[in-house]
């Protein structure tokens, strides 16, 4: 049990909330095969960031929150940079958000290649990475 001497000490309790971007669709050319580079394919990105939304829920101010338009922009810009491996692009997304957005404490990102060239009927292959500050 944690006991605080003052109300201001108690205000440092951190609330964890989520902002989720689900099913961001991108057409790009990641992969190890030459054909993947030339032809490209469809990708899906799911992003979940954890942050404290207490202040923004009270102020109703965009400057007090993590802007999901910004998060979508990061996804699209990083997905536009070719990588051989999905985990490489996922790590770039994580690194950039942590570098540019101080309010984010935890990130979970899933990058899926839809209809991957595996020689079979596979809907998607997905990598999932999660990191905290």
Domains of the chain: 15-132 (3.30.1130.10)
Tens of pLDDT, residues 54-109: 999 999 999 999 999 999 999 999 999 999 999 999 999 999 999 999 999 999 99
- The CA–CA distances, whole Å, from 97 to 3, 7, 75, 86, 118 equal 34, 32, 10, 17, 31
What is the full DSSP assignment across 32-93?
SSHHHHHH-EEEEEEEEEEE--HHHHHH--GGGS--HHHHHHHHHHHHTS--SSHHHHHHHH
User: Which helix or strand (DSSP H or E) is residue 9 part of?
Assistant: helix 7-10
The rounded distance, in Å, linking the Cα atoms of 118 and 33 is 11
pLDDT of res. 82: 93
* Contact call for residues 78 and 132 (beta carbons, < 8 A): no
* 53 compared with 6, residue with greater pLDDT: 53
Whole-number pLDDT of residue 109: 98
User: Which pLDDT score is estimated for 114?
Assistant: 93
Q: What is residue 6's predicted lDDT score, i.e. its pLDDT?
A: 52
Establish whether 113 is a catalytic residue.
yes
- Whether 26 and 45 have beta carbons less than 8 Å apart is answered as yes
pTM of the model: 0.85
**Residue 1 pLDDT more than 90?**
no
The catalytically annotated residue of 50, 73, 110, 113 is 113
């Amino acid at each position: 049990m944690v006991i605080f001497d003052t109300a201001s000490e108690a205000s440092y309790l951190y609330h964890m909330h989520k902002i989720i971007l689900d099913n961001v669709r991108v057409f790009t050319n990641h992969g190890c095969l030459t054909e993947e580079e030339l032809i490209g394919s469809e990708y899906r990105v799911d992003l979940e960031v954890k942050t404290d939304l207490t202040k923004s829920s009270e102020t109703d101010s965009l400057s007090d929150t993590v802007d999901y338009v910004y998060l979508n922009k990061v996804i699209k810009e990083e997905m536009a940079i070719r990588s051989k491996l999905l985990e490489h692009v996922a790590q770039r997304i994580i690194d950039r958000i942590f570098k540019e957005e101080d309010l984010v404490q935890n990130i979970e990102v899933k990058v899926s290649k839809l209809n991957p060239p595996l020689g079979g009927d596979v809907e998607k292959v997905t990598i999932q990475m999660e990191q905290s500050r």
